[in-house]
Structure 1
């Protein structure tokens, strides 16, 4: 019998404590909304206090890349440093800038037919595979085949993830480029004459028409 009374006393004590806590919550609700505030308002207030607002600030970053063009005789590579907006597809944008040609104040010359279009590009296992339109195969001005070819190869292999370049034309693998074999195309330092300085991408002139360039591929 004594145990039953102790149990009832304990239950009553718990009930009183619960009632007092409930009254405090109710008082808060009454103070908040003049007696008309719903319980969800208090719960929402608590949730807001526990939430930390996170803000992100977008920053425009830039990247300087090296582009290799021809000299006046078409036999030596001239290195041009170009500053472009940083992008997720840096290799794609770099080749697109190469196809646009050198800056107007540069002493370098374009390498390939300005109608050449970048169709696709990818880098995997150290191999950069670039797919260009058929205009790439056409001789352009007095630029030698070797200079034009390694202008592209050196431009691509400046990236640590690309050691070898593989070239496709209109989606098809090609074995030669104007009589030059395309096996194991790697960076060649011996063809580089000199550097022409650094330019911003907005300094590139319309000498090579941007209308013939596909910046995003298909």
Structure 2
């Protein structure tokens, strides 16, 4: 019996303490609200004070890359600046744009079979390894092998992280491309004729070079 009384006394003491603490908190809220503020208003005020404003910075949504296509004779590279949507995999999107070919009336021509697909791409230690479908090695139109090959190489080596390009076909390493050895493929500026200007990804030419002269014409 004595134990039961002690237990009830302890419970009553705890309840009294909780009641006093709750009353003090409510009293503080009423004082802060000027004595007549609704409880919902006071609670909302507390939430607002605890909320931190989130600020967002404007981010670039587009970027310009260089794509190298062929001239009418298929022997000279024409540089096209294309504006594309910002992406996490810039190299992949750039190669995909290159495979799509030129857009607008830039006077340049596609380099490879339009059926060519990008299977994979990776960049490590300055080497870009590009895996393309078998259509890539097929001759296309009057485009010379050298022009087609370095159209891709120059397109990739525009990035600071790429110095050398390695090409694979259907997941396998290849040693030659239509008679050209594929060792240490680096950018070749001597194959570039002229720039065709800036082209938006919707096919509209925004800026075109006034020069349409083939500087390397034989």
Q: Report the TM-score range of the alignment, normalised by the length of the smaller protein.
A: 0.7 to 0.9
Q: Is the 8 A contact 1:82 1:198 kept in 2?
A: yes
Equivalent residues, number: 184
Aligned equivalent of 1:106: 106
Q: Sort the Cα spacing of 1:204 and 1:182 in 2 relative to 1 into closer, same or farther, 3 A.
A: farther
Q: Could you tell me how far apart the structure 1 residues matched to 2:193 and 2:109 are?
A: 13
Aligned equivalent of 2:121: 121
Aligned equivalent of 2:26: 26
Q: What displacement does 1:202 show?
A: 0.8
Aligned equivalent of 2:200: 200
| Structure with greater contact order relative to length (CA < 8 Å, sep ≥ 6) | 1
Q: TM-score, normalised by structure 1?
A: 0.75
Q: Is the 8 A contact 1:83 1:201 kept in 2?
A: yes
Q: Is the 8 A contact 2:61 2:86 kept in 1?
A: yes
Q: Could you tell me how far apart the structure 2 residues matched to 1:114 and 1:25 are?
A: 74
Gap regions ≥5 residues in structure 1: 1-18, 206-218
Q: How does 1:121-200 map to 2 (within 5 A)?
A: 121-200=121-200
Q: What displacement does 1:103 show?
A: 1.4
Aligned equivalent of 1:52: 52
Gap regions ≥5 residues in structure 2: 1-18, 206-218
Q: Could you tell me how far apart the structure 1 residues matched to 2:104 and 2:21 are?
A: 78
Q: What displacement does 1:46 show?
A: 3.9
Q: What displacement does 1:166 show?
A: 0.4
Q: Could you tell me how far apart the structure 2 residues matched to 1:110 and 1:26 are?
A: 76
Q: Structure 1, residues 10-47: CA drift from partner, whole Å, max 9, x if none?
A: xxxxxxxxx99875423145677x9x969xx86x8645
Q: Structure 1, residues 56-87: CA drift from partner, whole Å, max 9, x if none?
A: 36645211110000011111111111111111
Q: Is the 8 A contact 2:74 2:147 kept in 1?
A: yes
Question: Secondary structure of 2:186's partner?
Answer: coil
Q: TM-score, normalised by structure 2?
A: 0.75
Question: Secondary structure of 2:107's partner?
Answer: coil
Aligned equivalent of 2:87: 87
